[in-house]
Structure 1
Amino acid sequence: MLSHPHLRRALCALIFCAALPALAQSPRAVTPRGPLDAQEQSTMALFRKASPSVVHITTLDTQRDLFSRAVHQVPRGTGTGFFWDEQGHIVTNYHVIQGADAARVTLADQSTYSARLVGAFPDRDLAVLRIQAPRDKLQPVPLGSSRDLQVGQTVYAIGNPFGLDQTLTRGLVSALNREIESMTQRTIRGAIQTDAAINPGNSGGPLLDSAGRLIGVNTSIYSPSGASAGIGFAIPVDEVNRVVPRLIKDGRFIRPALGVSGGSAQLSQALRLPKGVPLVAVQGGSPAAQAGLQPFRRGRDGGIVAGDVITALNGQAVADWDDLLSLLEARQMGERVSLTVWNAGRSRTVAVTLSASDD
């Protein structure tokens, strides 16, 4: 039997419920949204066109069973790549395939092919793979230019972050001419900074402009957590277009050489030398030797005999060894270049014909 207060509350609840209308039993009508805006349609068209050019790369390690000694391959890591040409060449980052025994490529239609390594250039974090697939599946990305990019341009990244394939993100060119470090601690100059979300797995994927043209290869992020913090970097396409054809042709990037070894920044500071590359060795018979360049060396009395310091190549200033290598990489074997050389307070100009490097 309900007590008096409980009875009063129950009666009030009953009266309140009776006053409410019956709850709707059918779904609500959908409000028409109208046509998509121009930017949405443009983005969708860009993705539809570029998506078939982007591939998912799975690297593999070979393992041998302890008891049966059967050999099998297991996944090692994932990354992204894109078709460079109609011959099945795929561009990606070197760090995506570094140390792997093999690689498997999955296309946008989910077909899968074994890939072979054509060539790599660790100093620029670039590598080229190749697959054998029907011609209609080999759709290269249209090539753009990074030379005329401007801060504020809209850019798009397509990749496989965390293994989630065919992911599109959009952002801006946040800055230009950044410097990032390759796997070999060489400086990659001219990198594009973007706030388009780039996460682990995006490496090696294309950075596209609003016309769907390739303007860079997504390569790294700056993030304390390891996930996108809105600061991503891409190797500029002009650099990619310089390196990739040589990897396809030669299997490696053959750097034109002078035949010299450069000293460290500490050596320059100790000897109070100008900015440049102090020579500590000149190979016999090399272009540098033929041009009469001399290294720093110890005299018979133990003192330092002054040598040459390369301060410019074809008029472009050389601050250190990394600078010199970058300028040489932009030249061709057999090309004649002009070196500005400092020695004991005097500068001179020397003409040198470049040869092939041994590395």
Structure 2
Amino acid sequence: TASACRLAAACSSGRRQRRRVRREATRQGDENSSSWWTPPLDAKAKLRLAAKGSVAALSILLALESGIDHDLLAPVFGPDRVQVASALPASGGAASLMAEEDAVTTIFRENTASVVNITNLQQGRMGGSLDITEVPVGTGTGFVWDDKGHVITNFHVIKGASDVRVTLIDKNSYAATVVGFDEDKDIAILTLQGVNPRDLIPIRVGRSGGLLVGQTVFAIGNPFGLDHTMSSGIVSGLGRVIQSQSGRPIRGAIQTDAAINPGNSGGPLLDRKGQLIGVNTAILDPTGRGANVGVGFAIPVDTVRGIVEQIITYGKIVRPYLGITLAPDQALAQLGRKGVLVLDVPANSPASGRLQPTYRSLTGIVLGDVIVAVDGKPVEGSGDLYGCLDALKVGDTVRLTVERGKGSREEVSITLGGKTTTFES
């Protein structure tokens, strides 16, 4: 039939092609006898080889080589088999890679205008001058939160600043006012002076609750002063605990291997949709050199959202507290004990009259109560105690297990008070 003749012609053409390739390879082998290579086969040469094998092998080959007419094989192998082969996915190649790159560049293009550079200025003397001036002591990153022009960053980026300057992607720099902050969670909120909020582009805020280890993430920031630098990685871990500037633990942190370096602090961590899932905050630095080793941490956006909305809406943050002063964890560790030692119990605090403080007597120091559990959960250090309190609200009643006196254990119930930090509007 005509189809069979066309198939035979294709096979004959494949034989001629392969003979030419072999002659060329032989000539090159004579010129350089120490190397040998297997030349790639074109579609028709592959067709000849596959014809000697099974029908299935030939069908798969045709799915990968678009240069063969599928109608050629329908009378020989049947339309159903040819149709199945045609439905197989094509190989990846340059087109797929370009699509992935385009998706990443789109994320950068859509979010980079929302990312800002933050400079911490503090009063000091330059060189040998006796005049006091504002000196830049550090830089960090921030991002536009909403259409009112609020900018979010880490508290440690602006800590101690006498003035804060924010530089946008167009290189224009503006003075910034601190709206509020939560030192315990290392979050600060700024507004820019002299800029129309409508000219700022808010970042798209996502969620961190459903994150999974292995998801692709992107970090945009200003590492080492290199503005608007993008790095990528994955979610390496979830539920990590890092320490804030106040010494209190920040729980639920996102671990990532996306490159985070000094200057990235306060910048956004984005998912593959370009949505904010965290605020880059810290790195693990065993070398002490302040450089990325592939272990970075971000505060989850679900935590950030609650803090930001509370400060913007009410101008304050309220946290539950016991109203006690704790001794450093090392104090008990040196005695070989676990728990949290109560150093002081101020008058009129929620714990006043309920817990016993540490005091000095004529015979020496008398240790106060040692908190070893909260609502039945073991407490080995201050981090455990803070973690339990973070999960509670003002007005909740907690049951503390304390070691008192010579080691006897007692149960003490305390209703939590509220510690309010108010910010001027």
The question of whether the paired residues in 2 share the 8 Å contact of 1:63 and 1:71 is answered with yes
Matched, 1:235 2:235: no
Give the corresponding residue for 2:263.
201
Asked if the contact 2:178–2:190 (Cα under 8 Å) also holds between the matched residues in 1, the reply is yes
Give, in whole Å, the separation in 1 of the partners of 2:414 and 2:290. 48
SS at match of 1:59: strand
Q: Distance in 2 between matches of 1:156 and 1:282?
A: 46
Of the three residues 64, 89, 92, the one matched with 2:153 is: 92
Residue 355 of structure 2 is aligned to residue 293 of structure 1: yes
2:243 counterpart (168, 178, 181): 181
For the 8 Å contact 2:399–2:413, the answer to whether it is kept is yes
When structure 1 is superposed on structure 2, of 168-177 and 58-67 the one drifting more is: 58-67
TM-score computed with the length of structure 1 as normaliser: 0.75
Match in the other structure for 2:252: 190
| Deviates further, 249-258 or 238-247 | 249-258
Q: Structure 1: how far apart are the matches of 2:129 and 2:412?
A: 67
Superposed, 1:1-359 pairs within 5 Å as: 37-62=98-123, 73-132=134-193, 133-223=195-285, 224=287, 225-248=289-312, 253-265=317-329, 268=332, 275-289=338-352, 292-295=354-357, 304=366, 308-333=369-394, 335-343=395-403, 344-348=407-411, 350-356=413-419
Change in Cα spacing, 1:66 to 1:153, as seen in structure 2 (3 Å) is: closer
Superposition TM-score, scaled by structure 2 size: 0.65
How far apart, CA to CA, are the structure 1 residues paired with 2:135 and 2:309?
31
CA distance in 2 between partners of 1:264 and 1:226 (Å): 26
1:98 CA drift (Å): 2.3
Q: Deviations over 1:161-202 (max 9, x none)?
A: 222222111101122233333334443333222111122221
Contact 1:89 1:129 in 2 (8 A): yes
Measure how far apart 1:64 and its partner are.
Answer: 7.7
Identify, as 1 or 2, the structure richer in helix.
2
Do 2:259 and 2:292's aligned partners in 1 also have CA atoms closer than 8 Å? yes
Distance 1:299 1:172, change over 3 A: same
For residues 131 and 76 of structure 1, the distance between their equivalents in structure 2, rounded to whole angstroms, comes to: 20
Which amino acid is the alignment partner of residue 284 of structure 2? Y
The letter for the 1-side match of 2:343 is V
Deviation at 1:215, TM superposition (A): 1.6
Question: Is the 2:215–2:235 Cα contact (8 Å) retained in structure 1?
Answer: yes
Contact 1:337–1:354, Cα closer than 8 Å, also in 2: no
CA distance in structure 2 between the aligned counterparts of 1:175 and 1:85, rounded to whole angstroms: 29
Per-residue CA deviation, residues 193-233 of structure 1 (Å, 9 max, x unaligned), is 21111222211101111122222111223343433332222
Q: Look up the equivalent residue of 1:324 and give its one-letter code.
A: L
The secondary structure found in structure 1 opposite 2:352 is helix
Q: Deviations over 1:236-255 (max 9, x none)?
A: 22332233334445666554
SS in 2 for 1:156: strand
Structure 2 unpaired stretches of 5+ = 1-93
RMSD between aligned residues: 3.5
Alignment gaps of 5+ in structure 1: 1-32
